[in-house]
Amino acid sequence: MFSAIAFPEIDPIIFQVGPFAIRWYALAYVAGLIIGWQLMMRFAGAEGSRISAKQVDDFLIWATLGVIFGGRLGYVLFYKPDYYLSNPGEIFMVWQGGMSFHGGFLGVVLATILYCRHKKIIILEFGDLLATVVPVGLFFGRIANFINGELYGRTTDVPWGMVFPGGGILPRHPSQLYEALLEGAVLFAILLIFRKTRYANKPGFIMGLFFAGYAVARSIVEFFREPDAYLGFLVGSLTMGQLLSLPMLIVGFYFMLRPSHKSS
């Protein structure tokens, strides 16, 4: 016999005036960018970093464009290429949801490389600062997924299972909250702890730790998250999220283990 906690049905739209609507999904991205930006400026100004708060301040617009364009393009290419090829006008309807972390990650990586080269900033040092605050955005993004009732988990008989709108009659894992916890809160705490150790003096280590930590957290949660219906399992029991996390894990270990004399 399955038991379930009632899903707290929250209207995805905070308020609406005519065709103009403010959604929790959009607000989550704004909150993640602004809070992460403020934290990053604080880290740059308070820890003797060669990165100045002004340089972080100027990077905000670059990061925003990287997240939005990369996240949307990644979703279109990785998850629903056939659908969007048939409906190209919907590619730009980001307010309807549909963003890929891995696409947004690649977008921010590209924005960071271009920005650092433009400003003549050491990329790995800037990357360490940026990686520290990324879990903040992930946390808010996953909470927004939960509010939208999307990206829910597999069916379960755990006491905290929930019946999601559109997810059938059986309770499911609230996998969005698992991701908010692991990819967001726990990973953020780990990165903050390591910033207080000698590893923080090795350019690229914190960035690599984020890459590897996210890959592990995402891969774990994928065992509880319902695979996308239009993709299913791709290789055996592996999902798209796990396959896309594998390169991140490899790159993460590379930056953590690389010789410390390489600093640019």
Binding residues: 142
Angle between helices 123-148 and 24-46 (to 10 degrees): 150
Residue type, 135: P
Listed residue (79, 75, 114) closest to 92, CA to CA? 75
Listed residue (97, 175, 108, 173) closest to 137, CA to CA? 108
Alpha helices, H only, the chain = 24-46, 53-78, 81-86, 101-119, 123-148, 175-179, 187-194, 205-221, 240-257
How far are the Cα atoms of 27, 123, 201 from residue 126, in angstroms, in the given order? 26, 5, 13
Collapse the DSSP code of 211 into the 3-class scheme (helix H, G, I; strand E, B; otherwise coil) and give the result: helix
